[in-house]
Chain A
Amino acid sequence: MKELFASASFAGAALTMLCFFIGSSIKDKFKSQVFNPILIAIITIITFLLITGIDYDTYNSGAKYISWFLTPATVSLAIPLYRQIERLKNNVFAILAGIFSGVVASAVGILALAVVFSLSHPEYVTLLPKSITSAIGMGVADELGGFSTITVPVIIITGIFGNITASAVLNFFKITNPIAKGLAIGTASHGTGTARAIELGEVEGAMSGLSIAVAGLMTVIVAQVFALLH
């Protein structure tokens, strides 16, 4: 199995698609967000790799072509956003203020945890950019002297957690406006959350996509300020 996987260039991609398809089928059957296709695929693949003894690099030599599309897909988020340009223009203050408040809320939350857990400064700045997209978050953590090798997995898990819990959290807090829903999801859980926002609707998806960029850029600055506080 190991040798087959190492010599077959489509093995990693095929395994990823198969496991995602299984995850989608399970979700369709139970109609519950607990059965999240992304999470099911990740758990199934990790289990498979651990059982067969195939290492991550061998898997990723085929699977990386799927990740490669993440950049063109992120760029493509500009298209649903452009379709909402009127809504964007009419609410530009509410949108920017909403995202900014979320970026500050994330930093305040991490600061509170740093105090509660008495984290060291490098540990604190490691978690500071945890809500934003991983490439920016990794850069922010590095720049501030954090451990970006911890920042990245925390960001990834945040995204999956946001994707799974978004609907329940928004319902619980009675956030019903589609613009507010999209911004909330994107600001709290970047691209992986956005994948869920797209399923909720065109406006939600567009606004969530916008938040990935705006929250990411705002965090670059806000994190610098918050890094001075602990």
Chain B
Amino acid sequence: MKYIKQLAIIVLVCFAGELVRYIVPLPVPGSIWGLVLMFILLVTGVIKLEKVEKTADFLVDCMPIMFVPGGVGLMRSWSTLKSMLPAAICSIVLVTPFVMLVTGKVTQKLIDRGDR
């Protein structure tokens, strides 16, 4: 029963996230609103950590495989992607590490400064 109760809470928050999406006119999916809601519910103490922890950790642990079906969907995108392939490839290969560099360095510098 423990796992079912925990899963029930998580699924209810998913649905609450979809409700927020329905109301707020931004291109933000229910999953992101659900993440924000779950975090608020934990911080305010409405949901206790141990009431969702076990199932949440299991779901997070399984996360990598959940990206596979969407990735297989790339086989259908080839014909549309082809039209701007050079720019798309450069945006992936150059911009992705650039974003990692900037985010990582800025955060690291600011944290180091705060420690002093």
On chain B, the residues within 8 Å of A37 by CB distance are: 64-65
Q: Is the CB of B100 within 8 A of A166?
A: yes
Given A66-B69, A74-B32, answer yes or no on A187-B103 (Cβ-Cβ < 8 Å).
yes
CA–CA, A69 to B61, complex, Å?
12
Q: Is the CB of A160 within 8 A of B71?
A: yes
On chain A, the residues within 8 Å of B59 by CB distance are: 69, 72-73, 76
Q: Is the CB of B67 within 8 A of A38?
A: yes
Interface bits A75-87 vs B (CB < 8 Å: 1, else 0): 1111111110100
Q: Is the CB of A180 within 8 A of B103?
A: yes
Please tell me if A200 contacts chain B, counting CB pairs below 8 Å. Answer: no
Interface bits A155-184 vs B (CB < 8 Å: 1, else 0): 011111110011001100101110111011
Chain A nearest CB: distance from B67 CB in Å?
A: 5
CA–CA, A101 to B107, complex, Å?
9
Given A195-B63, A195-B64, answer yes or no on A158-B96 (Cβ-Cβ < 8 Å).
yes
Provide the main secondary structure of the chain B interface: helix
Residue of B nearest to A173 (CB): B101
Please tell me if A109 contacts chain B, counting CB pairs below 8 Å. Answer: yes
On chain A, the residues within 8 Å of B31 by CB distance are: 70-71, 74-75, 133, 135
Residue of A nearest to B76 (CB): A56
Residue of A nearest to B113 (CB): A94
Q: Is the CB of A109 within 8 A of B32?
A: no
CA–CA, A147 to B68, complex, Å?
23
Cross-interface CB contact of A213 among B35, B74, B95, B97, cutoff 8 Å: B35
Chain B nearest CB: distance from A162 CB in Å?
A: 5
Q: Is the CB of A180 within 8 A of B108?
A: yes
On chain A, the residues within 8 Å of B69 by CB distance are: 12, 16, 59-60, 63-64, 66-67
Please tell me if A220 contacts chain B, counting CB pairs below 8 Å. Answer: yes
Additional 6 contacts, C-beta under 8 A, given A71-B31, A97-B110: A49-B75, A76-B10, A91-B111, A98-B110, A147-B80, A169-B100
Interchain residue pairs A-B with the least CB separation, the first 7: A139-B27, A98-B107, A102-B103, A135-B29, A175-B104, A184-B104, A94-B110
Listed A/B pairs (20) with beta-carbon separation below 8 Å: A42-B68, A64-B69, A67-B69, A74-B31, A75-B14, A79-B52, A99-B103, A101-B103, A101-B106, A114-B87, A117-B86, A142-B27, A149-B80, A158-B92, A161-B93, A177-B112, A180-B108, A183-B107, A205-B60, A216-B28
B residues whose Cβ falls under 8 Å from a Cβ of A: 7, 10-11, 13-14, 17, 26-32, 34-39, 42-43, 49, 52-53, 55-57, 59-77, 80-81, 83-84, 86-88, 90-108, 110-112, 114
A residues whose Cβ falls under 8 Å from a Cβ of B: 12, 16-17, 19-20, 37-39, 41-42, 45-46, 49-50, 56, 59-60, 63-64, 66-67, 69-83, 85, 90-91, 93-95, 97-99, 101-102, 105-106, 109-110, 113-114, 116-117, 119, 123, 126-127, 130-131, 133-136, 138-140, 142-143, 147, 149-150, 152-154, 156-162, 165-166, 169-170, 173, 175-177, 179-181, 183-185, 187-189, 191-192, 194-195, 198, 205, 209, 211-213, 216-217, 220
